[in-house]
Chains A and B, each alone.
Chain A
Amino acid sequence: MTLNRNVKIAAVVAFLAIVFIAVPAVISASGRFDLYYTLTSVALLSIASAGVWLTFYIGRINIGQGAYALMGGYISAILVMNHGWSFWLALPVAGLFCAAASVLIGLPILRLRGVYFAMVTLVLTEVARLLALALPITNGAKGIVSIPLPGALSVFGVTLIPDFASLQNSRLAFYLLAVTLMVVCFAVMYRLVNSRIGKLCQSLQQNEELASSIGVNIAYLRVIAYAVSSFFGGVSGAIFAAISQSIYPSSFTVTDSVNFMLNCFLGGLGYVFGPMLGTLVLYFGWDLLFQTGQFQLLIYSGLMIVLMLVLPNGLLSLAEMTRKKG
């Protein structure tokens, strides 16, 4: 907040230059093309986590984002496979479907607070998985496989996005898609949080009774925030399905839902870019610990506990602390 305008613009330009130019350049120079997949995952997971962060911002612990990611993945897969839709149309529709579903689900459950809301959302992920197993349209445990890669997107004969299948490097294409959406997602989030809506969300987080006494329609605002959150979850799930060209009931589980939440904790609940940093650190941290074999989960959990004790406001609070001291 204390950064002046020029520093902010410089930071944004630097960030865009890194993700769109520097990262692809370094990867093609080093030949580590597998990193594309990793970084694409980080970008997509950070979009879903941004959604979870928004529900935290209105004072709700959301452990149900996996449900919407799964829903988004299935919706886009079904639209592409069964109805022959273009992926580029199926993607926003999947997001909107999740948002609409979350309004119906959110209306009753958003009345709950604290651990009660958390428990219900936790169950939501499991319900989504069981539904995917049971519904005829989702093809049970076999899932939906051999989903074609996204085709070309043309408007008035001008090809905006080429057919992914015709590309030599569809990994780079997916990376650019995921990163672009991540940038858009966080730009939207930044604007939300720094407009009056952000203040209204904070008012909900800090005291719902007082908020309604000053005329804030708390039920409406909660549902809107939850719908935006679920939209992000759905979009992220839909792209995951397109990348892996498949979707199974186990594609997103309770563990993923918990991870989305941990990403927010780790980055910092008070910082809009917290989920992005949290996702990056958590994803790579988990991979780095892979070498420790059977101790991976133990070390990982231990480190998480220590981090939460030492830095309860997340990694980004570290930057603020050093700035205050300096």
Chain B
Amino acid sequence: MAEMLEVSDLTKRFGGLVAVNNVSFSVREREILSVIGPNGAGKSTLFKLISSFLKPTTGEVRLKGERISGLAPHIAARKGVVRTFQETTIFKNMSVRDNVIIAHHLRSKASLFGFFLGTGAAKVDEAAFGQSADEILALLGLSSLANETARNLPHGHLRALGIAIGLATNPSILLLDEPFAGMNHDETMRMVEMVRRLRERGLTILLVEHDMPAVMKISDRLVVLNFGQKIAEGTPSEIQANEKVIEAYLGSEDEAIGL
């Protein structure tokens, strides 16, 4: 399998704090790879580095061989690395359908001026985006809510809308930031199914997550971080048997009890 995303020797320092320390791994095409680790392990920083929301201190991220680290987030998105957000980050005063339509922006061929004048290209785009948005909404089970104002959606649907927005940009790799956070068992299982369906459509997925059972169920491979360093990499069964991982998780739990 070809490599979609390569992370090599990535380091991020905030002053004296090394949040991500010399981390390397790669994500293969059509793979679901999860990054896990105890609180403060540097998962979120790593996530921001890969999506270009932060610039690495050293090291680089490559998409299909092309360097993307250090680019502006909207350029990285154009190249095909698109993230979702941890919290319910959506355009809350727009309708659900408009949220997804606007996310097609990347695909539009018309210029700003073209939109203003309503040129042929702009109209063609507009119709195509509407159709594509309806398909995406159907895929994620949001069709019946298409005309609802986004801020009125229940929690689980909001998360799905976040993914719908990401999908609309037609990414090569979709980065999901804690997609299962705050979900009950049923919601989590539905989300696991949804993520699998996305992979079946040919998407490569990298996710950062706390929820162990869900992660073990969904991932092809895992990368484990602790104190900013990669301590393990492998399939779910390999990770479950890994001494260092058990130690890292137990250690943090001990601390939690001690406090």
Contacts and interface: CB of A to CB of B under 8 A. Distances in A.
B116 A214 contact: no
Interface of B is mostly: helix
A202 B103 CA distance: 12
Interface of B: 51, 53, 72-74, 77-78, 82-85, 89-94, 98, 101-103, 105-106, 108, 112, 115-116, 118, 122, 125-126, 165-166, 168-169
Given A202-B93, A207-B90, A213 B83 contact: yes
Q: How large is the interface on A (under 10, 10 to 19, 20 to 34, 35 or more residues)?
A: 20 to 34
B115 A197 contact: yes
Interface of A: 191-192, 195-197, 199-200, 202-203, 206-207, 209-210, 212-219, 221, 224
Contacts of A212: 72-74, 77
Given A200-B105, A215-B106, A206 B72 contact: no
20 contacts: A196-B125, A199-B94, A202-B93, A202-B94, A206-B91, A209-B53, A209-B85, A209-B89, A210-B91, A210-B165, A213-B51, A213-B74, A213-B77, A213-B83, A214-B82, A214-B102, A214-B165, A214-B166, A215-B169, A221-B112
Contacts of A213: 51, 53, 73-74, 77, 82-85, 166
A19 B94 CA distance: 34
A167 B79 CA distance: 61
Contacts of B169: 214-215
The 8 A-B residue pairs with the shortest CB-CB distance, nearest first, are A215-B106, A215-B77, A196-B115, A212-B73, A206-B91, A214-B103, A195-B115, A212-B74
Given A212-B77, A217-B74, A218-B74, A196 B89 contact: no
A203 B165 CA distance: 12
A99 to B, nearest CB: 15
B112 A206 contact: no
Contacts of B77: 212-215
Given A197-B112, A203-B91, A206-B94, A215 B74 contact: yes
A224 B72 CA distance: 18
